[in-house]
Amino acid sequence: MSVLIVGSTALDSIKTPQAGHPRLLGGSASHAAVAASFFAPVRLIGVVGDDFPRRYLQLFRRHGIDLEGLQRREGRTFHWSGEYEANMNRRRTLATELGVFETFTPTLPAAQRDTPFVLLANIAPSLQHHVLDQMRRPKFVAADTMDLWLNIALKDLLGLLRRVDLFILNDSEAQQLTKEDNVIAALPRLHRLGPKYVIIKKGEHGSILSSPAGLFLAPAYPLRRVVDPTGAGDSFAGGLMGHLASAPGRVDAHLRQAMVYGSVVASFCCEGFGLNRTTKIQRADIERRVKELEKLTRV
């Protein structure tokens, strides 16, 4: 089955203590779409400006990503620039230029309104709502977010949480949203906001799924060297949703496995700037790491 993914499509200028790369393909939807494309057909909803390099469109097409819902507008593509500290766990935003993103209204092609799996990747909650409003009874809806929306669009986000099956957020966002330091204690509070499934991402420490069947502790794939973690969370969500869309039957039965696939795609993402590494792997590379990760956690 197909996955519809809405989020940001951006140009990212990223500095780490080792190197810097300007105007990489970035944005939550770009990372998530490429990650999901290894498993299922992907429909990308977003907007780019007239400065968006043609090679990035070709890259999406090479991954079989349907670009009918990707608007091309006069003006500049959303541009984010940021810098990581030595340990890669902290970054600061140097500049955010919204460009064509400022007036973006996602509009779904008629043929895509029946897409069964929907990933509302990180983007303003009002736009996530707007996409859901256009969908016809999707089978499974997941939403990601970021601290910015907790600060400036909390009401919209809380409304959204009543409409999604799975809410994906990181540990510090969970703490901010629930005022609860302990992530395990935060989980029931997050469920009370609406979602049947909650996943808290903990970066290199893996992620935790909370569902009616209980908890699942998913490991992160251990990396000796993190080149650039930008987009790792989006890759996780994309890989997870792509795997779910590819699996037959009930979603519940595949969520754990899907998290392992998400973790593995995220690990590749971290091994290169932007999407440089993720776009060079094959499905077989993913399967190899999934097997390895299962061995690394088997008692």
Determine, following the binding rule CB under 8 A, whether residue 217 of this chain makes contact with a copy of itself: yes
What is the rounded distance in angstroms from the CA atom of residue 233 to the CA atom of residue 230? 8
Determine, following the binding rule CB under 8 A, whether residue 18 of this chain makes contact with a copy of itself: no
In the three-class reduction of DSSP (H, G, I as helix; E, B as strand; rest coil), residue 279 is classed as helix
Fill in the amino acid letter for 243.
Answer: H
Residue 54 or 224 with smaller CB distance to a copy of itself: 224
Determine, following the binding rule CB under 8 A, whether residue 181 of this chain makes contact with a copy of itself: yes
Residue 163 or 202 with smaller CB distance to a copy of itself: 202
Return the closest-CA partner of residue 36 out of 112, 119, 138: 119
What six digits make up the tokens of 288? 């190899």
What six digits make up the tokens of 147? 């601290």
> What's the closest the beta carbon of residue 204 comes to a copy of itself, in angstroms?
8
Residue 71 or 257 with smaller CB distance to a copy of itself: 257
Determine, following the binding rule CB under 8 A, whether residue 260 of this chain makes contact with a copy of itself: yes
Indicate the burial class of 263 (C-beta count within 10 angstroms; 0-12, 13-18, 19 or more): buried
CB-side neighbour CA atoms (13 Å) of 118: 27
Determine, following the binding rule CB under 8 A, whether residue 116 of this chain makes contact with a copy of itself: no
Number of chain positions touching a copy of itself (CB under 8 A): 30
Determine, following the binding rule CB under 8 A, whether residue 64 of this chain makes contact with a copy of itself: no
Phi/psi region, residue 182 (left: phi>0; alpha: psi -120 to 50; beta: rest), is: beta
Say if CB 187 and CB 169 are below 8 A apart. Answer: no
The single residue among 94, 111, 215, 253 that binds a copy of itself, judged by CB under 8 A, is: 215
Residue 140 or 221 with smaller CB distance to a copy of itself: 221
Determine, following the binding rule CB under 8 A, whether residue 102 of this chain makes contact with a copy of itself: no
* Interface residues toward a copy of itself, by CB under 8 A: 86-88, 181-182, 184-185, 202, 205-206, 208, 214-217, 219, 222-226, 256-257, 260, 294-299
